[in-house]
Structures are given as C-alpha cells and as structure tokens.
Amino acid sequence: MIYIILPVFKRVELTGRFLDSVRNTGYAVTFVICDDEPKEYSNFSKFCDDLDVIALKTDGDTWWCKTVSTGIDYLLESLSDSEFNSSIIIIANNDVTVDNDIFNILEYLDSNYSDIIHPETKILGTDKFVSSGCNIISWFPYITKHPMHLQRKTKVDMLTARFLCMKGDVIRRVGNINTQLLQYHGDTEFTLRASREGFSCFIVPGNPVFLDDNDGSAIHQRSLSCYLKDLFDDTKSNSVKQKYILLSTMKNKFFSFAIVMSMAVNGLVKTFIRRIFG
C-alpha cells in the first residue's frame, strides 16, 4: 500500500491539483491530509469525504514539522506493525504536481527497502531544476553541493520532502519528524539522522516533480534587510535559532553555533549576489 502524508495550510486549489496529478497515475494511493489551518480547516472540509483521503485536523498553528508528525503518528497507531513496515510512505508538499509515471521511481528502492529516495525537482512550466537534496562538502565553512540533471541515482547526505519516499520500516527505525523544529529543516534533520544510522538517501532521475514556484521563497531572496530580519524569525528558513536546533541534535553546542554563523554568512553572500546579478 502507498500512503502519502500531505501537510497543508490553506492553498486548497494546490492541494486539489496535487491529488488529481497523483490520481492520474492509476496507482492505488491513500492520502493522509493533515490540515493546520486554525478555525477554518478548509482543506479538511474540502477533501474529508473523498474515498481515498484520510483527513486530519491539527490543533492549529503547529507548523510543518508537527503536522507531518501528526500524519505519521496516525498511521503508526492505525496500521498493524507489519502493514506499516511494508507500506510505502511518502511525505509530500501540495505545491508540487507529478506526471503519470512518477511511481517508476520506486524501482530505485533497494531490495532491502532501506533507502530513502526523492525525484528531481523542476520549476513548473520551465526546464529549470532546483535542489532535491545535497551533499555536505564541509560543515565549517558550511559548503554544500546540490546534484541536478542526473543520469543515475545519486547518493546525498540529505533530502527535501516535496515527494520523499521510503518504506514504513525506515520511519519506524529512524523515528518521527523532529517536532523541536517548526516550519523548516524537519526533512533535512530526518534524512541526516537516517544517513547517520546507516540508511542511504538518493535523488533519482527520470520522473521529476514539478514545483509551483510562485511564493517568493527564500531561494529568490534579494533584499539584504529582509534576509537579516529572517535570521531572527523562527518561521523562516533562514532562522538562526531553528538551524541551531537542527545542528545541536548532531553536534556539540560550540560547533553548532559556529556552523550556524557560517550558514548565515553563506546566505548573506548568496543574497548579495542575487541582488547584484539577478
């Protein structure tokens, strides 16, 4: 069985597009929609009666990490151990769509199902690739390499969770998403933790997911003042505190602080370059 855990906050139209794109593959999939919209719960209301959807509500304002954790907890509690372990669990975002052959990527899972895989990511309507994961070249200074335009499956240290695929047994052994984190880095921390525990993370070629990139995300940040402000906002990807929480699960406090400062400088340089060169 394939279960797709889909954390959502508003953006009902995008959720519908994602569901339809997966349904068009012809695969039997159960969606676990975890709605984090306080009071309205518009995704829950829209999709709760769909036969292939399990719709859940959070307590509101739990953000991405706790919302995904809620979906995983539901499956752990609802399925038998053997059923959970043998199922394909996918953590996805509703800002992507997939093509009809997306599930061909499951052929890249090894015979022991101890891999975690993610397809490449393209910007919707373009030929532009963006990162699905990276290798850490150096922790300090913090330098990463992001493989793209792949011809074969490529091992990396960490992956994003736009369409993150694994057997349930991997989640059971690695553990749930870290809810000390808020909105960002939960996928990074989970896959880094898996890598440290002997699981292999791969980006796989052939069937990318397509990102609806219209949200002014941090990868397009050009304002130095906004970047500096985001360093102190826990809901932003550049948050110093959130990155420190991520790293402190793996490194000692001094080294974690040094790496976070390196990340901050790295981001500042990238923002400056985007501002100058576009």
Q: What are the residue boundaries of the structural domains of the chain, listed by start? A: 2-215, 216-278
Find all residues with CB under 8 Å of 193, minimum gap 6, and list them: 174, 175, 178, 249, 250
Average pLDDT of span 235-260: 84
| E strand intervals along the chain | 2-8, 29-35, 53-57, 88-92, 96-97, 115-123, 129-130, 133-138, 143-145, 154-156, 158-159, 163-167, 200-211
pTM reported for the whole predicted model: 0.91
Find all residues with CB under 8 Å of 131, minimum gap 6, and list them: 121, 146, 148, 160
On whether the 2-215 domain is CATH 3.90.1150.10, my answer is: no
Q: In this predicted model, what pLDDT tens digit does every residue of 102-160 receive, in sequence order?
A: 999 999 987 777 899 999 999 999 999 999 999 999 988 888 999 999 999 999 999 99
Contact 95, 125 (CB under 8 A): no
17 has a pLDDT exceeding 90: yes
Q: In this predicted model, what pLDDT tens digit does every residue of 159-202 receive, in sequence order?
A: 999 999 999 999 999 999 999 999 999 999 999 999 999 999 99
- Give the model's pLDDT for residue 213: 78
CB atoms within 10 A of CB 1: 13
Q: In this predicted model, what pLDDT tens digit does every residue of 248-270 receive, in sequence order?
A: 877 778 888 888 888 888 888 88
Contact 263, 243 (CB under 8 A): yes
Average confidence score pLDDT of the chain: 91
- Give the model's pLDDT for residue 220: 54
**Which amino acid appears at position 191 of this protein?**
T
- Give the model's pLDDT for residue 222: 66
77 has a pLDDT exceeding 70: yes
Q: What are phi and psi of 200, to 5 degrees?
A: -110, 135
Alpha-carbon dihedral angle through residues 151, 157, 160, 163, given to the nearest 10 degrees = 50
- The residue with greater pLDDT, 40 or 249, is 40
